[in-house]
Chains A and B, each alone.
Chain A
Amino acid sequence: MKSTHLALTATTAIAVAFAAPGAASAEDLTLCWASWDPANALVELSKDFEKQSGHSMNFEFVPWTNFTDRMLNELNSGGQLCDLMIGDSQWIGGAAENGHYIKLNDFFDANGIKMDDFIDATVTGYSEWPKNTPNYWALPAFGDVVGWTYRKDWFERPELQAEFKEKYDRDLAPPATFAELKDIAAFFQDREIDGTTVYGASIYTERGSEGITMGAMDVLYSFGFQYQNPDKPYDMEGYVNSPGAIAGLEYYKELYDCCTPPGSSNGYMSEGIDAFKSGQVAMQMNFAFTWPGFENDANVGGGKTGYFVNPAGPDGDQFAQLGGQGISVVAYSEKQDAALEYIKWFAQPEVQAQWWKMGGYSCLKAVTLAPDFPSSQPYAQTFLDSMAVVKDFWAEPSYAILLQDTQKRFHDYVVAGNGTAEEALNGLVRDWTETFEDDGKL
């Protein structure tokens, strides 16, 4: 309680200092994020901030495979490497409760930054802790969601269209349901196209970090999976292991068994990109951040790639796994004034518009709801539609334990073929219950 009061006072003081013109001196700021294409775009974008503010920006980018380990180590040890952190959405709970990020409410109020101006799901996903309360620890920085790409040029081939129509009695088109998706994947599996054997779909199966969880959850939500009883937090029996959730996990295994390239037992984002770009698969599950890269690719660019939202489940429910991150000020930074200045600059509509143009997925409604947004990129409408149906994994302080247990249960059933989907989900309820009991929440 006392530390919360101190943090609030400190934040207010920082906000007041920041509001005073000319109060901040030139600083060397370090922004920490994952090493990927959007990060390179942010480096370019930030040059504008350097010119305007006089501060210089340094960047610490870590490959995705080591990102969580490296950055959570940094935060847990109270390290001062990062002044600004674009951390994963699941970290919010732990980062808020352990005092790694500063609370931004007073700063937002003092500078006219309104959370209503950002896509609602990204505010909940990237900024709030506890969820659905107006306590903000980050500014939505990069909107991301799991969606699908498909080989539009293959789908448009008359001979394939005719064959598909004859077999399934409907047009070969982006699937609206998961049942349709499996039909299409099966249709392409082991097919020879231009002298090469191709496969149905690339899906997430990675064991080590979060891959298979992000992939399977993407399907389970639309089949009826819920994390908890909406009326009774942490009551998971019958929600996590509901009949719909069991059917969803069974579906994911069937899709893995029938329609993925041989040897794809440990694939995540980069393996999906490789499979799609190299012309191995007809469809690919991946986060939206990968899409700009396909447009300029020699093999799949130039109109050969199409995009579609995660399909609907058997009852018509349609959800998608949220990705993306918010930008926070690290509590251990000695340059918090300058870091807040960066956030204020980044929140401006013209900067956000530029961010989208450079390949960054802006979360600002002024950008995404602009009339010309859907036609600004071939994937823009799919991004918008996907962001409207997102759900996210637990953001609890113990999310890492919850995540690793999920990884194990899902991989054990889907890839290793041990037990049944029901056993896997019953086991998951037991694992998660134990963790919440340890946390004193049950």
Chain B
Amino acid sequence: MSDETTTGAAPRLSVRLARRLGGLSDRAIAWLFVGPTVFLLLAINIFPLIWTIRLSLTNYRANRANADVKWVGLRNYERILTDPDIWNSMQATAHFLIWTLALQVLIGFGLAYLINKKFKGDNFWTTVIVLPMMLSPAVVGNFWTFLYQPQIGLFNYGVAFLTGADPSSFTMIGDVDLAPWAIVIVDTWMWTPFVMLICLAGLRSIPDSIYEAAECDRASKWRQFWTITVPMALPFLMLAVLFRGIENFKMFDLVVQLTGGGPGSVTELTSITLKREAFEKWRTGYASAYAVILFVVVFGLASIYVKALNKVKER
């Protein structure tokens, strides 16, 4: 009964819809389907961006609803670009980005290369290696804070065992010179497995026949590595760098938990500075200007990188 009703109703509906749409142009039909998506895109992405740009030109503070909002022009931008603290924060972020990417690519690719050589228990070791990235960054930060404790921390004892130093004689997260490295170490520990997994996918996508052909041509292992393995895994490696670069540029929770941006401001990354300005100091206009500057920087760098990635893929 119901089947009869539905099968009968559906063709009638589609015929009616087709007749009604028949009066519409192709362009109008296209807009009918694309319109809702465009509207959502404007509402969720474009409008906030325009609103942020507008706020960046004012002295608006979100916690002072009763205060007058004044148009300050480019003053916020000028203040940011001439503030040495902001440049220090950019420098800290660049240090963190460069070193974490370099270490994660090297170690991640190395691990993937080893795991790719089939051996007994390789699946087990893969699971063990990826465990850190399954943890919450806040938990990892807390966990490593204990490991770095000079009096009870295993990390300090490990270093002391290897170097003969007194474990209480150095403090990883309280020392200006060591703190940036402390966060690099933790991020590398946590996210190298991610790079390893992507590289492993790349390595496993290389057909064995290419290596067999190289063997026939008597190419050495070293030559096979540089002329087959690396070029064919490169797009995957670049993709991993893109993902990790974007993630680490906005790194927040791990660093806050580990050092709180200190000592002083030596590990205060741009995301932490932005949060402080926007939600601790409540300088909304100033923070908006900072966000716009960061957006331009990230957008510019990402565009260049993606262009390079596409070129590598085309090769």
Inter-chain contacts of A3 with B (CB < 8 A): 66
User: In whole angstroms, how far apart are the Cα atoms of A261 and B171 in the complex?
Assistant: 11
B260–A69 CB distance below 8 A? no
B260–A262 CB distance below 8 A? no
Report if A415-B151 is in contact (Cβ < 8 Å); known contacts: A99-B66, A208-B256, A263-B174: no
A94–B264 CB distance below 8 A? no
Report if A416-B262 is in contact (Cβ < 8 Å); known contacts: A263-B150, A401-B283: yes
**Does A76 make an interface contact (CB < 8 A)?**
yes
**Which of A262, A400, A401, A411 is the one whose CB lies under 8 Å from B171?**
A262
- For the complex formed, measure the closest distance between the CB of A410 and the CB atoms of chain B, giving whole angstroms: 9
The main secondary structure of chain B at its interface with chain A is: loop
A416–B151 CB distance below 8 A? no
- For the complex formed, measure the closest distance between the CB of A23 and the CB atoms of chain B, giving whole angstroms: 31
User: In whole angstroms, how far apart are the Cα atoms of A261 and B174 in the complex?
Assistant: 12
Query: For the side of the interface on A, what is the size category?
Result: 20 to 34
B264–A411 CB distance below 8 A? yes
User: In whole angstroms, how far apart are the Cα atoms of A418 and B264 in the complex?
Assistant: 8
- For the complex formed, measure the closest distance between the CB of B261 and the CB atoms of chain A, giving whole angstroms: 6
A76–B281 CB distance below 8 A? no
Task: For chain B, residues 133 to 155, give those with C-beta under 8 angstroms from any C-beta of chain A.
Answer: 148-151, 153
**Does B280 make an interface contact (CB < 8 A)?**
yes
A263–B260 CB distance below 8 A? no
Report if A98-B66 is in contact (Cβ < 8 Å); known contacts: A263-B151, A265-B174: yes
**Which of A69, A94, A266, A412 is the one whose CB lies under 8 Å from B64?**
A94
A416–B176 CB distance below 8 A? yes
* Residue of chain B at shortest CB distance from A439: B67
Inter-chain contacts of B148 with A (CB < 8 A): 263
A76–B63 CB distance below 8 A? yes
Report if A207-B263 is in contact (Cβ < 8 Å); known contacts: A94-B64, A263-B171, A416-B176: yes
B256–A266 CB distance below 8 A? no
| Binary contact track B53-96/A, C-beta < 8 Å → 1, others 0 | 00000010011111000000000000000000100000000000
| Binary contact track B183-212/A, C-beta < 8 Å → 1, others 0 | 000000000000000000000000000000
* Residue of chain B at shortest CB distance from A415: B263
Inter-chain contacts of A265 with B (CB < 8 A): 171, 173-175, 262-263
- Which 6 A-B residue pairings sit nearest by Cβ, starting from the closest? A265-B174, A416-B264, A412-B264, A207-B262, A262-B150, A208-B260
Additional A-B contacts beyond A207-B261, A266-B173 (13; CB < 8 A): A76-B62, A76-B282, A99-B65, A262-B168, A263-B174, A264-B174, A266-B262, A404-B281, A408-B265, A412-B265, A413-B264, A415-B262, A416-B264
